[in-house]
Structure 1
Amino acid sequence: MHELGIMFNVVKNVENFAKKNGITVIDTLVLQIGELSSVIPRYAKVCYPAAVEGTMLENTKLEIEILPGNCICNNCSRVFNYLEYKGICPGCESEDWELLGGREFNIKEIIAC
């Protein structure tokens, strides 16, 4: 489970940002995780308490937003969800598409008290 290492890295980055910006208390941390990302959101959420233990984020809430894995068909220009349609355009049944999003892993927001 690589999510624990990722969450330790997120905590370190958020702490560095907070120190540089004079933030002493953080209420909520919001992450965006693409549904095609290698990070599994529920595992990230489970690992979060271990990653924040003993840090300035120990009492923060974690919110995770799931970003869809959308594609655009190169034949008919239809936008569709890769997982829902298994990589096949529902408009023309083409497998020739470009990925628009869904592999992201972002720290979206740090909400200070």
Structure 2
Amino acid sequence: MHELGVIIEVVKKVESFAKKNRIVEIDTLVLQIGELSSMVPKYVEACYPAAVDGTLLQDTKLKIEILPCNAICKNCNKVFNLIEAQKKCPDCESEEWDLLGGNEFLIKEIIAC
């Protein structure tokens, strides 16, 4: 489970940001995880308490937003969810597409108290 190591690095980044901006208490950390990301949301949630233990984020809430895996068809320009459409354009059934999003892992928001 690589999520723990990644979340520990996120905590370090957020703590650094908080110190630079004189934030002493954080209420909520909002992460965005794409449907194709290597980060598994349920594992992120499971390891979060261990990653924040003893840090500035110890009492924070974690909110995860899932970003859709969207693609655009190279044949007809239809934008569609790649997973739901099983990697085929739902309009023309082409399997040639460009990925628009869905592999992200982002710190979206740090909500201070």
**Equivalents in 2 of 1:13, 1:105: separation in Å?**
14
Secondary structure at the counterpart of residue 75 of structure 1: coil
Map 1:1-113; keep pairs closer than 5 Å: 1-113=1-113
In the TM superposition, what is the alpha-carbon distance from 1:66 to its structure 2 partner? 0.1
In the TM superposition, what is the alpha-carbon distance from 1:25 to its structure 2 partner? 0.2
Q: Structure 2: which 5+ runs fail to align?
A: none
Q: Structure 1: which 5+ runs fail to align?
A: none
**Equivalents in 2 of 1:53, 1:86: separation in Å?**
40
Deviations 1:58-104 (A, max 9, x none): 00000000000000001011111111111111100101100000001
**Equivalents in 2 of 1:39, 1:71: separation in Å?**
20
TM-score of the pair, normalised by structure 2: 0.99
Aligned residues: 113
Q: CA RMSD in A?
A: 0.5
- Matching residue's letter, 1:102: G
Overall identity of the aligned pairs, in %: 68
TM-score of the pair, normalised by structure 1: 0.99
- Matching residue's letter, 2:84: E
